[in-house]
Amino acid sequence: MSEAETLRTEGAATAAPVLRAEEVWKAFGEREVLRGISLTLARHEVVALIGASGSGKSTLLRCLGLLEPIDDGRMWLDDRDISDPRVDANRVRARLGAVFQSYNLFPHLSVLDNVTLASRVVHRMPKRDAEARALALLDRIGLAGFAKAHPDRLSGGQQQRAAIVRAIVTDPEVLLLDEITSALDPELVGEVLDLVRSLADGGATILMATHEMAFARDVADRVVVLDDGVIVEEGAPARVFADPRHPRTRAFLARFTS
């Protein structure tokens, strides 16, 4: 375990939860997608959600990000009940950063305008300050030269990295990542995962759904396994991957070792 991982793990063991779900249920019509999910995420912790497609990972992230209403249960961001129907959802979302499979960059805006939009419009940051911070982050990931370009000038990996920068430029309390490499060509996956790895090493709080098992094993502090809308197993990556205890976990992981 690296020094950064050790510090994150020790911090997560003592930190109060920053994001918490308790007995969350969500159905689409007759299909129950989340069935009593309870989950906590400590500040500076990196948690990987794994499981087969359709297990509920994306829906859980969308519910936590207040992009889907829940049917039952409660959710908290710090000590704020964000499942209260009276809550200002936009204010909650302003404290979170979310990145999904599709890059969702506005095609009519430059990369710089895409990245600074939330800073300027939601957080009311002066344009000069917003652009200075955005350019520093774009430079860090090798995209400063594309700041004035439109998204169609970028490769898929570059667009996804720009989308991550857009999510982190406002210093969100939690970063929600949903299968952010699934739409990428294999040769582009590494550059996006390298950026997430650097964010984790820098102390970011991350909840990510992923099919990249090696990445989850190496970077996450904790792995949570979803199956048919329930958490069937969770624990340290080394234990879950080496000695899965639930039959559904063993069956899922066997797909990656056969």
Beta-sheet pairing, 206-209 with 80-81: unpaired
124 and 232 in a common domain = no
- Three-state secondary-structure class, residue 80: strand
CB 159 within 8 Å of CB 183 = no
CB 237 within 8 Å of CB 223 = yes
pTM (global) more than 0.85: yes
Distance CA 8, CA 167 (A): 21
147 and 134 in a common domain = yes
List the structure tokens of 229: 């809308």
128 and 11 in a common domain = no
Could you report the per-residue pLDDT of 31-45, keeping only the tens digit for each? 999 999 999 999 999
Domain count across the chain: 2
Residue 100 domain flag: no
Distance CA 111, CA 102 (A): 15
133 and 250 in a common domain = no
Residue 76 domain flag: yes
The pLDDT of residue 192? 87
153 and 31 in a common domain = no
Most confident of 7-21, 181-195, 202-216: 202-216
Beta-sheet pairing, 222-227 with 230-235: antiparallel
247 and 214 in a common domain = yes
- Three-state secondary-structure class, residue 205: coil
184 and 166 in a common domain = no
Q: Report the CATH number that the domain containing residue 208 is assigned in CATH.
A: 3.40.50.300
Domain that holds residue 160: 106-171
